[in-house]
A and B are shown apart, each in its own frame.
Chain A
Amino acid sequence: MNIDYLINITVPMLEGAQMTVLLFFIAIIASLPLGFVLTLMANSKSKPLAWFAHTYIYVVRGTPLLLQLLFICFGLPIIPVIGDYLVMDRFVAACLGFILNYAAYFAEIFRGGLLAIDKGQYEAAQVLGLNRWQTTTKIIVPQMVRVALPAIANESITLVKDTALLYAVAVPELLYFAQTAVNRDFTIAPFFIAGIIYLLMAFVLTLFFKSLERRFKFE
């Protein structure tokens, strides 16, 4: 086994990793705000809204992500009558699945963050005359983020690894190219390289979140 061979198999894997990174960013950028909206709904005084949010979170957390992806990619198109309109590009379908799934987890993380905020913070904001929007954006969210940050970091790293599920809906990504090389060349080196690439991505994320945590330390 020589260096040339390793480079040869690494290049397609890195190209596959682009898909991984793209999915990661799309999923995280969309699911964080969506998760926060779900948290607000779950905490809302409106019974139907709260019920919807809790049910949604229950269903999404209670079923495998893989099932959800398969459902969106292969299940929706075979629904009678409307199925034809629900055929999506595989990657788009996968993005949708990841966003809907991660939003539920982030919603629960944010809910935990909100529970950690002392009710005195709301009272202080109220007596100073802040309205609800000002209280939420200027007082509550920054403190919630601080509490939620370690859990968000954890979830983000899980997301990087979950992108490997693209494999199951036949979108070629990092792991797909690794598996192809293993089958073709009968060597386990591609698996190691794939592992290293995942670890590198996790490493970058870890550094990023550590620096965010320092910024949100408020000391």
Chain B
Amino acid sequence: MGIIEVTNLKKSFGTLDVLKDVTFEVGKGEVVAVIGPSGSGKSTMLRSLVNLEQVNGGSIAVEGEYLVKDGVYANPQGIKRITSKMGMVFQHFHLFPHLTVQENLELAPRLVRGEPAEESRRKRDELLRKVGLTDKKEAYPAKLSGGQKQRVAIARALMMNPAIMLFDEPTSALDPELTGEVLQVIKQLAEEHMTMVVVTHEMGFAKEVADKIVFMDNGEIVESGSPDELFHNAKHERTKSFLHRSLK
């Protein structure tokens, strides 16, 4: 049984079906890369896992608990409990600009969990070391580069000790020379067997780090499999032509 199980997920905006019957699962400790053209529903699918988008049908279960079952959502406490198992990293970071790096990290554990200050500080220092930003802890986000911001955002999500990390195009807003430092941090998390779902356009990264690749197009999963299967033996014409265009 997967740590995340998504079955027959459906979502539409008006007459536009953005998710049509999406089914997949993520195993514990697995890194899943979701690829596909813009507008294929990748981000919507990812965002619906943490209730940033509401679906019209289907089920999402995390660690066996249903966030939504056959289109019916859990109660508010249930939603909160289930979504708190997941950390989310956005394309545009969404750091809190009025708080320093360390305040960004400590805010949620202190406020939401009532974590003791000492514990938050210890975890904060550990995570800032991990993402290589110890010297920036007093800085405001405005003073950081895009790559640094994204590393802070990753550390901020990790502060809540999530079982699963979700990444929504974590490097798409970065200058090409800054993507490496962010991908490095994600790679390190993969080595520590963090369960992750990464929506990405970085094919090289997906190939190297992911255990499983999911290819989405037009609101549905066209095919999924190991990087080797997808990159070298794709079954579907749509997958082949997308990969061909992306790897050029």
Which residues of chain A have a CB within 8 Å of any CB of chain B? 118, 120-121, 123-124, 126-130, 134, 138-139, 142-143, 146, 216, 218-219
23 of the cross-chain contacts (CB-CB < 8 Å) are A118-B92, A118-B94, A123-B90, A124-B88, A124-B90, A126-B52, A127-B50, A127-B86, A127-B157, A128-B108, A129-B84, A129-B112, A130-B108, A130-B112, A134-B112, A138-B111, A143-B96, A143-B97, A146-B98, A216-B98, A218-B140, A218-B142, A219-B142
B121 within 8 A of A: no
Q: Is the CB of B107 within 8 A of A138?
A: yes
Q: Is the CB of B108 within 8 A of A120?
A: no
A163 to chain B, nearest CB (A): 33
B36 within 8 A of A: no
Which residues of chain B have a CB within 8 Å of any CB of chain A? 50-52, 80, 83-84, 86-88, 90, 92, 94-99, 107-108, 111-112, 140-143, 156-157, 160
Find the A residue at minimum CB distance from B91.
A120
A122 to chain B, nearest CB (A): 9
In the A-B complex, the 3 residue pairs with the closest CB atoms? A124-B94, A128-B108, A120-B94
Beyond the given A128-B112, A142-B98, could you list 16 further A-B residue pairs with CB under 8 A, ordered by the A residue number?
A: A120-B90, A121-B94, A123-B90, A124-B90, A126-B51, A126-B52, A127-B86, A128-B108, A128-B156, A129-B83, A130-B107, A143-B98, A218-B99, A218-B140, A219-B142, A219-B143
Inside 8 A of A216's CB, which chain B residues have their CB? Answer: 98
Q: Is the CB of A120 within 8 A of B142?
A: no
Q: CA separation between A120 and B168, bound complex, in Å?
A: 12
A-B contact count (CB 8 A): 61
Q: Is the CB of B160 within 8 A of A129?
A: yes
Find the A residue at minimum CB distance from B90.
A120
Q: Is the CB of B52 within 8 A of A124?
A: no
Given A121-B96, A139-B96, A218-B97: A129 and B108 within 8 A (CB)?
yes
Q: CA separation between A183 and B160, bound complex, in Å?
A: 72
Q: Is the CB of B90 within 8 A of A219?
A: no
Q: Is the CB of A127 within 8 A of B87?
A: yes
Q: Is the CB of A129 within 8 A of B80?
A: yes
Q: CA separation between A24 and B142, bound complex, in Å?
A: 35
Q: CA separation between A128 and B98, bound complex, in Å?
A: 17
Inside 8 A of A120's CB, which chain B residues have their CB? Answer: 90, 92, 94
Given A138-B107, A219-B140: A127 and B96 within 8 A (CB)?
no
Given A129-B84, A219-B140: A123 and B94 within 8 A (CB)?
yes
Inside 8 A of A142's CB, which chain B residues have their CB? Answer: 98
Inside 8 A of B142's CB, which chain A residues have their CB? Answer: 218-219
Inside 8 A of A146's CB, which chain B residues have their CB? Answer: 98
Q: CA separation between A124 and B47, bound complex, in Å?
A: 12
B78 to chain A, nearest CB (A): 14
Q: CA separation between A123 and B50, bound complex, in Å?
A: 10
Q: CA separation between A124 and B98, bound complex, in Å?
A: 14
Find the B residue at minimum CB distance from A145.
B98
Q: CA separation between A142 and B111, bound complex, in Å?
A: 16
Q: Choose from A126, A127, A128, A143 the contact partner of B107 (Cβ within 8 Å).
A: A128
